[in-house]
Amino acid sequence: MKAENEIIEIANERLNEKYYKIKHSSGLTVFVFPKQDYKSSYAIYGTNFGSIDNHFIVDGQEIRVPDGIAHYLEHKLFESKDGDAFTKYAKTGANANAYTSFEKTCYLFSCSSNLEDNLKILLGFVQNPYFTDETVAKEQGIIGQEIRMYDDSPDWRVMFNLLEGMYHNHPIKIDIAGTVETIAEITPKKLYQCYNAFYTPHNMALCVVGNAQPEEVLKLVDEFVKPVPEKKIERIYPDEPIDVVKDYVEQTFPVLIPMFQLGFKADGSVKLDEKRAAGCEVALFAFASNSSPMYKQLMDEGLINESFGYEQVEMNGVNAVLFSGESQNPKRVAEVIRKHVRSALKNGIDPEEFEIAKKAVYAQYALELNSVQAIGGGLIGCEFSGRELFKCIDAISALTLDEAQDMLAFLLNPDRCTLSVVKGDD
């Protein structure tokens, strides 16, 4: 007996928005977020497989793969026996792309017409891998050039120098694209091994946002995505101490203004549900946004410019916060940030600043619901992290000051941080 597709309508009356979550009979999770009055549509097709997944057990078989293979696989998947997917998109007028991050790989397009044709291209090439010795060898040179380009990028180096300074063993410290040496180990057999393990409907999600309805999308998914037995995947990550490797890393680069990243390392074993995730976002906004006392002091002392920002990093085995920017005195920047961390942990988040942060973060989410790209990325991200988009937004408005304070203490420990600096020759 054929399994039925399960369609769930998820609505938020306060936001006056709704979308559909469909558990397809193949095991694929499909999201359709109708935006009837929008001219543009957006689709993103992702697999819960990224650069950190280099050691795993699938159906009882333990497998280790070369660093950078997820990114390599992303590049190769666009090729098929009947031509390159980008060439096909060019004929329909779609703007297509793909990316590999630490924890996922996604294929996407935006278009103002021909949504059905573009979805056929997307579902077609992602579902039909084609790897040969010749095409894999050809790609090694192309990706090798990309790796060398990133090695020459101060933005890239300051981040990975930081991660190497923070993490002893976790593969987050390994470049997403791998190294010239590791990609030389990649073969068609290893690519198919990763594809067959992770590019299965149960480990993937498709999101379509724009002038689309569930029935239209499901018709195409029925055509292209066939049921396969669910594979049991166990991802293996090395034990990671809670302390950092070193508190300072420096590299010389031809830059006019020194660049820095200051990373705070938290317990990577903690999973963030909607409430905890909301607490992190609001707490960090109150602490480090351009309306915060810390930001004001850094600006008043001339220590930072408008490049300053922060990012929360969350994935299997990792929870961290990275502050970044340009400064003639990065060590003083780090000193000021750590001082404000200690003050916030001792005295608490100011209640007025907390309320401002809540409203600002909520408004930011509401604004992003006007962007088809933001909606698509948000739904895929929530699916792979085990959260639901509207629950995340509602958790912000329901958040208490104590909950935000708890998450600030969880994220920012001044004794577990690393400063990475890239500066020019003295």
DSSP per position, 345-373: HHH---HHHHHHHHHHHHHHHHHHTT-HH
DSSP states of 261-328: EEEEEE-TT----HHHHHHHHHHHHHHHSTTSHHHHHHHHTT---TT-EEEEEEETTEEEEEEEEE-S
Q: What's the distance, CA 23 to chain centroid? A: 23
pLDDT of residue 135: 87
SS3 at position 80: coil
Instruction: Tell me which DSSP letter residue 2 carries.
Output: P
6-235 and 248-423 in the same fold: yes
Q: Contact at 8 Å (CB) between 22 and 8?
A: yes
276 is written with which tokens?
């905890």
Left, alpha or beta for 16 (phi > 0: left; psi -120 to 50: alpha)?
Answer: left
- The yes-or-no answer on residue 74 being catalytic is yes
Host H or E run for residue 46:
strand 41-47
pLDDT of residue 426: 67
C-alpha span between 81 and 64 (Å, rounded): 28
Beta strands across the sheet bearing 233-235: 61-64, 55-58, 233-235
For the stretch 159-179, what's the b/e string if a residue is b when 16 or more beta carbons lie within 10 angstroms of its beta carbon?
bbbbbbbbbeebbbbbbbbbe
C-alpha span between 366 and 17 (Å, rounded): 10
Host H or E run for residue 404:
helix 401-411
Which class is domain 248-423? alpha beta
SS3 at position 215: helix
Superfamily of the domain at 6-235: Metalloenzyme, LuxS/M16 peptidase-like (3.30.830.10)
Q: Contact at 8 Å (CB) between 173 and 164?
A: yes
Query: Measuring CA to CA, which residue among 421, 92, 66 is closest to residue 252?
Result: 421
Residue-wise pLDDT for 81-99, tens only, equals 878 899 999 999 999 999 9
Domain boundaries, the chain: 6-235, 248-423
* ∠ CA 334-339-342, rounded to 5°: 125
pLDDT of residue 2: 55
204-210 and 41-47 beta bridge pairing: antiparallel
pLDDT of residue 227: 87
Residues of the chain with pLDDT below 70 are 1-3, 426
Q: Given the residues 6, 9, 17, 74, select the one marked as catalytic.
A: 74
The dihedral built from the CA positions of residue 332, 279, 290 and 249, taken in this order, carries a sign that is positive
pLDDT of residue 228: 86
